[in-house]
Amino acid sequence: MDVALYTHQDMLDHRPGEWHPERPERLRAVIDALDEATELDLEPRDAPLAELADLARVHDQAYLDSIFRITPVHDLHELDADTYMSAGSLVAARRAAGAPVQAVRDIAAGLAERAFCAVRPPGHHAEPNLPMGFCIFSNVAIAAKAAQAAGFHKVAVVDFDIHHGNGTQAAFAGREGLFFGSIHQWPMWPGTGHPSEWVPGNIVNAVSPMGAPPQVWRRAFEGLMEKVDEFAPDLILVSAGFDAHHRDPVGDGGQSLEEADFAWATRAIVSVANARAKGRVVSSLEGGYDLEALGLSALAHVRALADG
């Protein structure tokens, strides 16, 4: 199956610091890996700037006003201890949110069936009124609400980053027609997402212990996908974080996954999408900070999207 690839060079201009793990080279590593896979039939499309009206589907207006007022020229502006803005960050963050929004609209219009959004900064930690964990806008949550506005009645997000997508959970909690399923390490920052945590019925969290073998992670993921299947979405969005790779410095080796595990998980997502959602899947990049592991994992993920 053809996969539309949404990205933009402007996202390289988000520069949170030479020391920062969420660096421009991450996006280059993903694009280079995809470019080298000549057997993939990817359709490149520009990631547009997300409009204020779309950002406001998730974020409070006061929060958006505060972010848009920040205009660093030479120095970095610290949003929190992990999250910074440089001169190019606002445009990059708007394109990172605009990519999955455009992808869901293109799918609604019959212009695509599957998409991968190679974006940065990531988004799943950004809450409605709070930047967090490298994230400025809640990219996938915004896209899910745009998808509902485009006519999709039941939208599911599957998040397999090593960190819990607290921002997506906050945006989805109790919202009709939306489902959020996350698998992540526990214990792990940001400290949310344990299955014992009370959440509304449209939120399901699964965990894998630190140091668990891939089989444990896979069993937890299978249970998560059973819940997605029960929800019967007509569109699946993926928060595709690859920092559960055993080489990842931010994941600190807490999980022992390899590229094959991400491909396996993607095939499981595609299987549910084929059964419930006419095969429609939009995936958007979240974490992954070892450049080689990130490129190889993203490639395995996109190959599985295309093969299903």
User: Measured between alpha carbons, how far is 178 from 169 in angstroms, rounded to an integer?
Assistant: 10
- DSSP label at residue 197: S
- Residue 226: CB atoms within 10 A of its CB come to 13
Catalytic annotation, residues: 125
Q: How far is CA 132 from CA 126, 159, 279, 302, in A?
A: 5, 17, 32, 27
Report yes or no: 107 and 113 within 8 Å, Cβ to Cβ. Answer: yes
Whether 49 and 95 have beta carbons less than 8 Å apart is answered as yes
Q: Which residues make Cβ contacts (< 8 Å) with residue 33, sequence separation at least 6? A: 295, 296, 298, 299
Supply the DSSP symbol for 12.
Answer: G
- The rounded Cα 278 to chain-centroid distance in angstroms is 21
